[in-house]
Amino acid sequence: MRTLFLSLACTAAFAGAAFAQEHTPQQVAEDALRHRALAQAQELSAQCFADHKSKDDCITLMKQQCSGLAIGKFCGLREEASTDPVKSFQTTAKANKDAAQCMSLGKPYEDCLWDLQTACHGLGIGKFCGMVHSHS
């Protein structure tokens, strides 16, 4: 029985370590900057739609502002979420801004990611709320 317990405990520890990707302080700082930049781009996208500019004009703006930062042509936003683009971009911008703040305060990366995913409400693409996530 004791052997079984130790075996399960070791398996759980290794599985947890494999699941939680470690990020260096430099990577966390890079992610915080990228979330902040994406939030600014999404705020500009929301403003474009709020100003009643054409969808094509706003997509052109998003391509310029979100290049290399976000997934897809809607600046990280799921295309089906674009039925109310102002509200959707405001929501994802706030989620990304809050994630940047969380990371900058040195909170655990997994906690910041959980908060991001919760606040994003499935509007953003992927687990990083639309942000391209890559480290060199």
Q: How many angstroms separate the first and last alpha carbons of the chain?
A: 45
Q: Read off the DSSP letter of residue 82.
A: G
Residue identified by tokens 């966390």 is: 28
Q: Is there a contact between 20 and 110 (Cβ–Cβ < 8 Å)?
A: yes
H or E element that contains 77: none
109 with 76: CB under 8 angstroms?
Answer: no
pTM of the model: 0.81
Structural element, H or E, at residue 102? helix 85-104
Per-residue model confidence as pLDDT tens digits over 33-72: 999 999 999 999 999 999 999 999 999 999 999 999 999 8
* pLDDT tens figures, 70-123: 998 889 998 877 789 999 999 999 999 999 999 999 999 999 999 999 999 889
